[in-house]
């Protein structure tokens, strides 16, 4: 899980977001504590805290002093929206640019996607 070139706190934040998106951490439920995250992922608690702080900043989680961290209502929807926007920016737009350069129309591109989609 934590093995790419991005900062560890970003990888950990994404791990938590993935869990929320998959329903492992439903809205309104508690997230693992900072110490649990740090122990499980073998990272410094300050790094785990930074990851959770990022989720709070994004409106994905909320802190309840003395109780813990909780997934906010609408968190899954916000994650899906942000990732869809990122997907479009990083991947879809370049595909469209290349398709236009090759003078492919939408039907051609759709056919390519359908062919590649199949296992």
Q: How far apart are CA 67 and CA 46, in angstroms?
A: 18
Same domain, 106 and 89: yes
Task: Read off the tokens for 114.
Answer: 């359908």
Asked whether residue 20 falls in the same domain as residue 60, the answer is yes
What is d(CA 61, CA 43) in angstroms, rounded to the nearest whole number?
Answer: 20
Residue 3 lies in a domain: no
Question: Is there a single domain that holds both residue 19 and residue 67?
Answer: yes
Same domain, 53 and 105: no
Q: pLDDT digit string (tens) for 59-92?
A: 999 999 999 999 999 999 999 999 999 999 999 9
Give the DSSP per-residue string, the chain: ---SSS-HHHHHHHHHHHHHHHTSS-TTSBPPPHHHHHHHHT--HHHHHHHHHHHHHTTSEEEETTTEEEEPTTHHHHHHHHHHHHHIIIIIHHHHHHHHHTT--HHHHHHHHHHHH--
How many domains does the structure of the chain reveal?
A: 2
Is pLDDT above 80 for 1? no
For the stretch 83-104, pLDDT in tens is 999 999 999 999 999 999 999 9
> Domain range holding 81?
76-117
pLDDT bucket at 7, cuts 50 / 70 / 90: very high
pLDDT digits (tens, 9 = 90+) for 8-45: 999 999 999 999 999 999 999 999 999 999 999 999 99
Tell whether the model's pLDDT for residue 2 goes beyond 90.
no
CB atoms within 10 A of CB 73: 12
Q: Do 38 and 83 belong together in one domain?
A: no
Same domain, residue pair 67 and 89: no
């Amino acid at each position: 899980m934590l093995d790419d070139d991005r900062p560890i706190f970003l990888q950990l934040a994404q791990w938590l977001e993935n869990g929320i998106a998959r329903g492992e951490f439903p809205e309104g439920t508690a997230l693992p504590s900072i110490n649990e995250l740090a122990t499980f992922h073998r990272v410094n608690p300050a790094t785990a805290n930074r990851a959770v702080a990022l989720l709070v900043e994004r409106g994905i989680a909320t802190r309840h002093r003395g109780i813990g961290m909780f997934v906010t209502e609408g968190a899954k929807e916000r994650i899906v929206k942000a990732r869809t926007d990122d997907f479009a920016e990083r991947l879809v737009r370049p595909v469209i640019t290349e398709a236009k350069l090759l003078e492919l129309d939408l039907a051609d591109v759709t056919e390519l996607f359908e062919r590649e989609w199949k296992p």
